[in-house]
């Protein structure tokens, strides 16, 4: 098992009103980015469904210089209808992200939860302060 020190939250940079399904995201990563699979370990669609991407054991392709020791989670959205970065998470996505993060912290208790922006300030992704929002996340036994 890889040593996981970071859980990195991303957004798909998809405008409100536009859909980017898990399969569409996977296809984009394979066809246009040259990956062998989706770059994330999890993808959360607007309806709150959590889709499994790469297995934990596989290194992701989601955050340069941090893929070897991290897991990547992406939520569908992150842009206004006009393309401006903003937190577009639905209530379903917020609930699913909390549930997923609690489970991941059970498995990787020392991993820090951060946003892509925290590691690459040139990015606005995930369009909210993930480190602050999830700092006090409680693991429910």
User: What band does 141 get if pLDDT is binned at 50, 70 and 90?
Assistant: low
Q: Output the CA–CA distances (angstroms, integers) from residue 42 to 14, 63, 88, 102, 110, in the order listed.
A: 16, 14, 18, 14, 19
Q: Which CATH fold would you assign to the domain 6-134?
A: Lysozyme-like (3.40.80)
pLDDT in tens, 71-130: 999 999 999 999 999 999 999 999 999 999 999 999 999 999 999 999 999 999 999 999
pTM, entire model: 0.96
Whether 140 shows a pLDDT value over 80: the answer reads: no
pLDDT of residue 139: 75
CA–CA gap between residue 45 and residue 34 (Å, rounded):
23
Cβ pair 10, 62 in contact under 8 A: yes
pLDDT of residue 132: 96
Mean pLDDT over 58-80 rounds to 97
Mean pLDDT over 128-140 rounds to 89
> How many helical (H) and strand (E) elements, i.e. helices and strands, does the chain have?
4, 7
- What residues does each domain of the chain span? 6-134
pLDDT in tens, 9-43: 999 999 999 999 999 999 999 999 999 999 999 99
């Amino acid at each position: 098992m890889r040593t996981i020190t970071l859980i990195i939250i991303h957004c798909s940079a998809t405008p409100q009103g536009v859909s980017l399904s898990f399969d569409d995201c996977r296809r984009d990563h394979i066809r246009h980015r040259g990956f062998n699979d989706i770059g994330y370990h999890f993808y959360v669609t607007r309806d709150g469904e959590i889709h499994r991407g790469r297995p934990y054991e596989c290194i992701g392709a989601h955050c340069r210089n941090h893929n070897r020791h991290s897991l990547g989670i992406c939520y569908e959205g992150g842009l206004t209808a006009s393309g401006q970065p903003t937190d577009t998470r639905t209530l379903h996505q917020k609930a699913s992200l909390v549930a997923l993060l609690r489970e991941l912290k059970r498995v990787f208790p020392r991993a820090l939860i951060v946003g892509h922006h925290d590691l690459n300030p040139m990015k606005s992704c995930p369009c909210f302060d993930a480190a602050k929002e999830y700092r006090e996340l409680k693991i429910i036994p």
